[in-house]
Structure 1
Amino acid sequence: MKTRREQAEWRREQLLDAALRVFAGKGVDGASVKDIAQAAGVTPGLLYRYFDSKEALVETLLAERGFLPRLRELLTADNRARPAVEVLTELLGAFDGLLADNADLMAVFFSATQARAALADLVSEGQRLIGDFLAARVAAGELRPHDTATAAKTLFATVAVGRRTGSAVDVAHLVELLFPCER
């Protein structure tokens, strides 16, 4: 038998799953709290016990199921000591894989106009983390000096747009193109 806490966590995940399906089908702007509650088999009132608004659902989906948690994991101290080209290739491969395996989440990401500020914050944090990693590798003498913020934006945008347009990017080739290794 589940504890109250386990039951509440299960219900929360069920609501997030339903929200993801509804947002992917109707778009964030076209979906209502009633639609999400109906898809989850609950009342709108119960949904509001877990999330303050539809925007809070979008923000939670993107924050918890998006790439930022995985990015933080990949940029641990252990990985910071590995060659940048290896880390970047692994990181971009994981990002591309998340986009490929989660079409619904990708649809929410690209249609989340109501949570645009939260989305911008998440993207900005991801770009900052990559930029900091690149700056550290420049400081260590591994990479040539460059605009690390622009490089971080370019890496994410290239993979995301490639996946969105159906022209997946070869991430190893992208990393090699932007950060050529001495041979």
Structure 2
Amino acid sequence: MTPRTGPTPTRTRLSAEERREQIVDAARRVFIAHGLGGSRTRDIAAEAGINEALLYRHFDSKEALFETAIVDPLRAAVAHLAEAAGDPPADAESSLEEMHERTRMFIGDLVTVMSDIAPLLGVMIFSGEAPGAQSFQSTVAPVLDQVADVIRKNLGWWDHRAFDPDNVVRLLFGAVWFEVTANRLGERSLDTVTFVDELTDTLIFGLAARP
């Protein structure tokens, strides 16, 4: 008989919450790598190191996993951005300089948030399936509208040219998402401070009333 050379390793038993988080982390990696349409529950289970039956004990469908792994983090992020957009200034002493600083702070927050959620947002936008489109409409679209509403409330506090706040917000989000994505893909290195300052100047001074 071969003598035992050491104690038998014990397998750590995960709590239900820990197991669920393990599956969600694996799902996020698979969704980012393959998109919603190209991801299968058996691939997610394999990535998590479990069998598919155990996965279904925690999530009853791929769409439920998509909601938890992709949509929930986006929902939390855009809620933060909506809060960061703020309310109109409290007094009539606000100036172009204050609008510039408030915009700069918001764009800085947007870059920080987008650095975390850019891959998740890409999965949602390019999924080509109903759950992705529905999630975008229920999660991201409302915050774009909310930020545009904040801009409308601030329009009377500084001299500006006529512009459509909805277009400006989508231009802003698109520019930040593309720049962060290009940085992730190694296409260019993102100098966050310079990017935020330049984008702020482009928006504020580009929209300011011409002398």
TM-score in terms of structure 1 length: 0.75
- The partner residue of 1:71 within 81, 99, 121 is 81
> What is the correspondence of 1:88-167 to structure 2 with a 5 Å cutoff?
88-101=103-116, 104-114=119-129, 115-139=132-156, 141-142=157-158, 144=160, 145-165=162-182, 166=187
CA distance in 2, matches of 1:24, 1:49: 23
Name the counterpart of 2:94: none
CA distance in 1, matches of 2:55, 2:86: 35
Pairwise CA distance, 1:75: 3.3
Name the counterpart of 2:36: 28
C-alpha contact (below 8 Å) 2:124/2:133 kept by paired residues:
no
Aligned-pair identity in percent equals 28
C-alpha contact (below 8 Å) 2:125/2:136 kept by paired residues:
no
C-alpha contact (below 8 Å) 2:104/2:200 kept by paired residues:
yes
C-alpha contact (below 8 Å) 1:127/1:153 kept by paired residues:
yes
- Partner of 1:29, secondary structure, is coil
Matching of residue 60 in structure 1 with residue 76 in structure 2: no
**Max Rg structure:** 2
- The partner residue of 1:51 within 59, 62, 84 is 59
CA distance in 2, matches of 1:103, 1:62: 11
C-alpha contact (below 8 Å) 2:118/2:181 kept by paired residues:
no
Matching of residue 17 in structure 1 with residue 34 in structure 2: no
Could you say if the C-alpha distance between residues 91 and 37 of structure 1 is closer, same or farther in structure 2, counting changes exceeding 3 Å?
farther
Number of matched pairs: 174
Pairwise CA distance, 1:120: 3.4
Could you say if the C-alpha distance between residues 72 and 12 of structure 1 is closer, same or farther in structure 2, counting changes exceeding 3 Å?
farther
Could you say if the C-alpha distance between residues 8 and 70 of structure 1 is closer, same or farther in structure 2, counting changes exceeding 3 Å?
farther
Task: From the two aligned structures, give the one with the greater helix fraction.
Answer: 1
Q: Deviations over 1:119-161 (max 9, x none)?
A: 233231121121011111114x236353111111111011112
Could you say if the C-alpha distance between residues 72 and 97 of structure 1 is closer, same or farther in structure 2, counting changes exceeding 3 Å?
same
Q: Deviations over 1:28-76 (max 9, x none)?
A: 2221011112222333344334434223322333332223132134235
Pairwise CA distance, 1:8: 4.0
C-alpha contact (below 8 Å) 2:84/2:109 kept by paired residues:
no
CA distance in 1, matches of 2:121, 2:141: 17
Pairwise CA distance, 1:109: 3.9
CA distance in 2, matches of 1:9, 1:30: 27
What is the alpha-carbon root mean square deviation over aligned residues? 3.0
CA distance in 2, matches of 1:29, 1:94: 31
CA distance in 2, matches of 1:143, 1:54: 50
C-alpha contact (below 8 Å) 1:134/1:148 kept by paired residues:
yes
Runs of 4+ more than 6 Å apart: none
Gaps (5+ residues) in structure 1?
1-6
C-alpha contact (below 8 Å) 1:22/1:31 kept by paired residues:
yes
